[in-house]
Amino acid sequence: MRPLIIDVKDLEFRWQPGAPTVLSIDAFQVSAGECLFIKGPSGSGKSTLLSLLSGVTTAVAGSVRVMDQALEGLGSVQRDHFRADHIGYIFQMFNLIPYLSVVENVMLPCQFSTRRRANALRRGDGLEAEARRLLHHLDMDHADLHRRAVTTLSVGQQQRVAAARALMGAPELLIADEPTSSLDADRRESFIRLLFDECRGAGTTLIFVSHDASLEPLFDRSIDLAEINRAARVAEAA
Ligand X SMILES: Nc1ncnc2c1ncn2[C@@H]1O[C@H](COP(=O)(O)OP(=O)(O)O)[C@@H](O)[C@H]1O
Is residue 31 a contact point for Mg ion (CB under 5 A)? no
Q: Helix (H) and strand (E) counts for the chain?
A: 11, 9
Strands (DSSP E) found in the chain: 4-13, 23-31, 35-39, 61-66, 69-70, 87-90, 173-177, 205-210, 221-224
Kindly tell me which residue out of 30, 37, 39, 46 binds ligand X, with binding defined by CB under 6 A: 46
Q: Is the dihedral of CA 49, 39, 217, 26 positive or negative?
A: positive
Residues in 45-64 at the binding interface with Mg ion, rule: CB under 5 A: 46-47
d(CA 126, CA 195): 22
Judged by beta carbon, residue 45 or residue 109, the one nearer Mg ion is 45
At closest approach, how far in Å is the CB of 210 from ligand X? 10
d(CA 38, CA 211): 8
Judged by beta carbon, residue 187 or residue 211, the one nearer Mg ion is 211
Q: Cβ-closest residue to Mg ion?
A: 47
Q: Looking at 43-51, 106-114, 134-142, 154-162, which segment touches ligand X (CB under 6 A)?
A: 43-51
Is residue 48 a contact point for ligand X (CB under 6 A)? yes
Tell me which amino acid residue 35 is.
C
Is residue 39 a contact point for ligand X (CB under 6 A)? no
- The residues of the shown chain that bind ligand X, judged by CB under 6 A, are 15, 22, 40, 42-48
